[in-house]
Structure 1
Amino acid sequence: MKALHFGAGNIGRGFIGKLLADAGIAVTFADVNETVISALQQRGEYQVKVVGEQCTLEPVSKVTAVNSSSAEVVDCVAESDLVTTAVGPTVLNIIAKTIAQGIEKRLLAGVTQPMNIIACENMVRGTSQLKAEVLKHLPQALHAQTELLIGFVDSAVDRIVPPAEAGESDPLAVTVETFSEWIVDQTQFKGNIPDIKGMECTDNLMAFVERKLFTLNTGHLITAYLGVMAGHETIKDAIEDPAIRADVKAAMQESGEVLIRRYQFDPTAHAAYIEKILGRFANPYLRDEVDRVGRQPIRKLSPQDRLIKPLNGTLEYQLPNSHLIKGIAAAFHYQNDDDPQAVELQAMFKEKGFCDTLAHYSELNSSDEVVKLAEQAYLALK
């Protein structure tokens, strides 16, 4: 079985690519980083440092790489049984054209064996969004055949993979936490579902997508923003600050109540899940900087993302939300001159004020009580 994985960064190599290779699948990474591509081509293997209660080095072998901007990558798409991605939401639309070209070449060559595509991104129904972009680049005459033979499988992914440690010279070095979760929508596959240890199938994906979004992502981001304000450099330092931990846990409990109402999650089991997440944030072997986690605040303030979506859930079910509101307010204190979204957010905030800026990005109404409460929380944090 052949797989093409777009994105040879830390998540690609340390998480999805590793699971595929561990399952005996021949993995080709597609990326634009020539240093990483060359190292993968020359070595055909790398090691992943897995850290938890213990540190272990786990080998990943029989892999190669291709430049994702080359003509060769189209052939790789056409010849693959499985295409996966870990490129980030903004790059997903860019690679859609390449994937479409590969599908077109495959179908015109008369290949009738199904192929499945899974976007492994920090976004809700990312593969469905990728599919919409791919179809724009495919001739209309091939759409019916694509629906028949190409599976676009949505997934939820969860593993903390920090940037390379300072001073690390090996371009393939990667560190990951022990915990990982890759859940896929089994109803969307075409043909047989591949047997990949660590890939779990479900027919109720949204429950797991929102559990991760409302817990790991929400808690991670609020830890980062409150950590920045308190002068902490890392997520570990921030979550070990008792005041921040209390706020983050309370915010996750607020978002958790939405999940319990919406999906009938067991309250005791979900409380244990929250504690597990808090423990992961405090992993002493993971140096995850608050500035990295806090990046792209505009995307994270959008209606379907980790701050506003759980907030809207609390409004839907008339649940407490003061700590989620505090997290949203903290986003407006995040300043990072190296992050275009942070710069844009602060510029609009300066020009239009808190309520109009939050309303613009979150699609809440600027006159809503919850927006005014967020502004009050911002001023209280100040």
Structure 2
Amino acid sequence: MKRLSLQTLPDLAPQVRRPAYDPRATTTGIVHLGVGAFHRAHQAVYLDDLLAGDPQWAIAGASLRRADMRDALAAQDNLFTVAVRSGEGTTLRVVGSLRAIHVAPENPEALLAAMCDPAVRIVSLTVTEKGYCHDPATGDLDPAHPDIAADLTRPRAPTSSPGLLAEALRRRREAGIVPFTVMPCDNLPENGPTVHRIVSQYAALIDGGLARFVENDVAFAGTMVDRIVPATSEADIAEVSAQLGAEDAWPVMTEPFTQWVIEDRFPTGRPDFASVGAEMVADVEPFERMKLRMLNGSHSTLAYLGYLAGYETVSQTMADAHFERLIRGLMTEEVMPTLTVPGADLGAYRDALIRRFNNPALKHRTWQIAMDGSQKLPQRLLGTVRDRLAAGAPVDRLALGVAAWMRYVTGTDEKGTAIDVRDPMADRLKAIGAAAGRDAPRLAAAYLGVEEIFGRDLAEHQGFVRPVTAALAALLDRGAAATVSDYGRVAA
């Protein structure tokens, strides 16, 4: 079978959607840090739609860790397939908006040169929560983070996202080139202001003048992004390639739903995002909070409990009526009362999420969602917890999600089998679990004492400590399925 490429585009299966433009005729206007499955199924698709009418906004991507994505797509002229799966079947489209992929550890200079191109007016990011090298509990830069410590020893050749942004902005300022707008597309609360603060704090460690420039003269456009994108399996690659009529080394799988809400803060120019379905707003924070708390908070809760109960995917977990009732109750009773979103129907959004979670064609693994929980919990669950506690309201279902994370990161499942916990703090969390043993009060107190996750307030608030400890005791004694059954009965 021939490989997907510009040359083989005309030979693809007739039902496959192709770029409505010549990718070779586009120019790069956006550099994107963190080219992964989500970016390729989300932002790259919007830009693919847009390039047909405005060819100056192609993407130069960058990997901050590995070369595997670059190596997979280089032989395909950076084309790739987006497979949209639903209960009605799978549709394929080939995306051509990605013009190049740089690998920061191999050649940071080439990436910085791309970021300093005057034609580049936006640098966007999907580096995951941990890629910002910050303290999730405070939202501030962690100067002791290994990537930051390394960059500070070689600030002209950085490889972290804060280091790359600061150095590129320094070079543009020195050359008299207007700064690009920074557009984070990760699940951070107030991601625009948060990343602005992180980069400013990093710059301050390099040069006071640069810090003032970042603080006063660089725009940071906050966003809310939403599309479920499972990891691509070998079976997915084989299936897509067969339907495509050409070999695609790394397609992406996703759902029909997609959403992109963007703060309109682009003083040096931007594409017409609204023309391809993005929502341009003055303040993205209410939408971001809605998504983080309702979708991502529910997803994490499902991931930990579902994995412990033996379910491999989200849809399998949701097929258990007790889990669906739990998640509906979590959103309705504990999350929605903390949200005010202009123009949004929270009940309709909840119902849409329930339908999306139930999509059997989208095999989103609970283990994948469970990754990096120490970075995700503060944004996805603990902000809601704090708002509920401040209102004197119960947090039973939220506490169950947190307790499930605690049970998961001990590193051993309900059958005594080791869990492959992927988390920046995995070793420390496993050691805490080993030291505390299966004594729920002791184990809960030990995990709540991790200030980088819980701060100091939650470990001392009995309105949180009590339900977390009770939920953890139930999970240890009875297991996830039986515990969820009890909680599900009281769900709305």
Q: Same fold (TM over 0.5)?
A: yes
| Compared CA separation, residues 347 and 265, structure 1 to 2 (3 A) | farther
Cα pair 1:211 1:259 within 8 Å, conserved: no
Q: Which moved more, 1:245-254 or 1:193-202?
A: 193-202
Residue in 2 aligned with 1:357?
447
Q: Which runs of 5+ in 2 are unaligned?
A: 1-27, 52-56, 134-159, 239-247, 412-418, 437-441, 478-492
Residue in 1 aligned with 2:116?
78
Residue in 2 aligned with 1:98?
164
Alignment deviations for residues 53-105 of structure 1 (CA, whole Å, 9 cap, x no partner) = 44211121152222223111001111111111111122234222122221122
Alignment of 1:307-318 (within 5 A): 307-318=381-392
Letter in 2 for 1:106: R
Residue in 1 aligned with 2:255?
177
Cα pair 2:406 2:447 within 8 Å, conserved: no
Letter in 2 for 1:30: A
Alignment deviations for residues 218-239 of structure 1 (CA, whole Å, 9 cap, x no partner) = 1111111221222111111001
Cα distance in 1 for partners of 2:47, 2:366 equals 30
Letter in 2 for 1:95: S
Alignment deviations for residues 236-260 of structure 1 (CA, whole Å, 9 cap, x no partner) = 1001101111111111113333334
Work out whether 1:339 is the aligned partner of 2:371: no
Work out whether 1:154 is the aligned partner of 2:181: no
| Compared CA separation, residues 225 and 38, structure 1 to 2 (3 A) | closer
Percent sequence identity over matched residues?
A: 24
Q: Secondary structure at the match of 1:365?
A: helix
Which protein, 1 or 2, shows the higher relative CO under an 8 Å CA cutoff with sep ≥ 6?
A: 2
Cα pair 1:47 1:174 within 8 Å, conserved: yes
Q: Which moved more, 1:136-145 or 1:195-204?
A: 136-145
Cα distance in 1 for partners of 2:49, 2:208 equals 38
| Compared CA separation, residues 284 and 367, structure 1 to 2 (3 A) | closer
Letter in 2 for 1:225: Y
Residue in 2 aligned with 1:319?
393
Cα distance in 2 for partners of 1:328, 1:253 equals 18
Q: Secondary structure at the match of 1:151?
A: coil
Cα pair 2:129 2:375 within 8 Å, conserved: no
Q: Secondary structure at the match of 1:8?
A: coil
Cα distance in 1 for partners of 2:61, 2:177 equals 22
Letter in 2 for 1:316: A
Cα distance in 2 for partners of 1:144, 1:359 equals 36
Structure number with greater Rg is 2
Cα pair 1:254 1:320 within 8 Å, conserved: no
Residue in 2 aligned with 1:164?
232
Q: Which runs of 5+ in 1 are unaligned?
A: none
* Number of residue equivalences: 375
Residue in 1 aligned with 2:40?
13
User: 1:263 offset after TM fit, Å?
Assistant: 4.7
Alignment of 1:1-382 (within 5 A): 2-24=29-51, 25-31=57-63, 32-42=65-75, 43-52=77-86, 53-62=88-97, 63-69=99-105, 70=107, 71-79=109-117, 80-93=120-133, 94-112=160-178, 115-135=180-200, 136-137=202-203, 139-147=207-215, 149-167=217-235, 168=237, 170-186=248-264, 188-196=265-273, 197-260=276-339, 262-263=340-341, 269-302=345-378, 305-334=379-408, 335=411, 336-340=419-423, 341-349=425-433, 350-351=435-436, 352-360=442-450, 361-363=453-455, 364-366=458-460, 368-381=462-475, 382=477
Cα distance in 1 for partners of 2:71, 2:259 equals 29
TM-score using structure 2 length: 0.71
Q: Which moved more, 1:94-103 or 1:138-147?
A: 138-147
| Compared CA separation, residues 2 and 313, structure 1 to 2 (3 A) | same
Q: Secondary structure at the match of 2:132?
A: helix
User: 1:329 offset after TM fit, Å?
Assistant: 1.8
Question: How well do the aligned residues superpose, as a CA RMSD in angstroms?
Answer: 2.4
Cα distance in 2 for partners of 1:309, 1:122 equals 13
User: 1:22 offset after TM fit, Å?
Assistant: 2.5
Q: Secondary structure at the match of 1:2?
A: strand
Cα distance in 1 for partners of 2:398, 2:461 equals 18
Cα pair 1:121 1:157 within 8 Å, conserved: yes
